[in-house]
């Protein structure tokens, strides 16, 4: 029996989005809550809080998204839909890519895509070809990337955000 087709989340972007953080596809908990990076052990939100520590990150999801947009960031995934059991990228089947042409029209200041993990980065060339922008590979913020310490992930994320011009 095939897994049911799962649909991803809408992008969190705005006209001021400069760097688009691209995951692969939301995990089970993120889909249930309709919130990016909802798993409590995912480091994405804590990584961003550490990078912009002088601007405390709110606790509510809507406020966090507004905070993210104020930093010039956006969130989306490379896949619009897929079949998958569980949350692991290795379980993704029959994936459909998101429409990056339409997204670019919503983000006129976009300067780079930052791929959160290897599965997203597998599509960096396609995304780069559509957007005409550099693509960076971020260390995965997923709890499945347990071999990387928070500090090591933070150093990788800091380097990418500096290269993209969002941090000095």
Segment holding 109, helix H or strand E: none
Average pLDDT, the chain: 95
Angle at 115 between CA 30 and CA 58, to 5 degrees: 50
- pLDDT value, residue 2: 57
Name the 3-class secondary structure at 18: coil
pLDDT at 87: 87
The three-class DSSP label of residue 142 is coil
* SS3 assignment, position 70: helix
The pLDDT value given to residue 89: 84
At residue 57, what are phi and psi to the nearest 5 degrees? -80, 130
CB count within 10 Å of CB 15 equals: 10
Q: What is the pLDDT of residue 101?
A: 92
Give percent of the chain with pLDDT exceeding 70.
98
CA distance 99 to 133: 15
| Residue-wise pLDDT tens digits, 78-123 | 999 999 998 888 889 999 999 999 998 999 999 999 999 999 999 9
Residue whose tokens read 């290795």: 90
Q: Is the model's pLDDT at 1 over the cut of 80?
A: no
Query: What's the mean pLDDT in 125-133?
Result: 93
Q: What is the mean pLDDT of residues 65-77?
A: 98
What is the predicted pLDDT for the residue at 90? Answer: 86
pLDDT at position 78: 97
């Amino acid at each position: 029996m095939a897994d049911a087709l799962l649909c991803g989340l809408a992008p969190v972007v705005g006209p001021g989005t400069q760097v688009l953080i691209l995951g692969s596809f939301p995990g089970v908990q993120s889909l249930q809550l309709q919130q990016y990076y909802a798993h409590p052990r995912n480091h994405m939100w804590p990584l961003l809080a550490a990078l912009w520590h002088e601007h405390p990150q709110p606790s509510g999801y809507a406020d966090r998204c507004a905070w993210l947009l104020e930093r010039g960031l956006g969130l989306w995934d490379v896949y619009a839909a897929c079949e998958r059991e569980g949350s692991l990228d290795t379980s993704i089947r029959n994936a459909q890519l998101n429409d990056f042409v339409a997204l670019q029209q919503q983000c006129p200041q976009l300067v780079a895509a930052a791929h959160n993990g290897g599965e997203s980065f597998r599509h960096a060339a396609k995304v780069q070809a559509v957007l005409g922008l550099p693509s960076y590979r971020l260390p995965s913020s997923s709890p499945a990337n347990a071999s990387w310490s928070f500090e090591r992930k933070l150093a990788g994320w800091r380097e990418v955000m500096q290269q993209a011009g969002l941090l000095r």
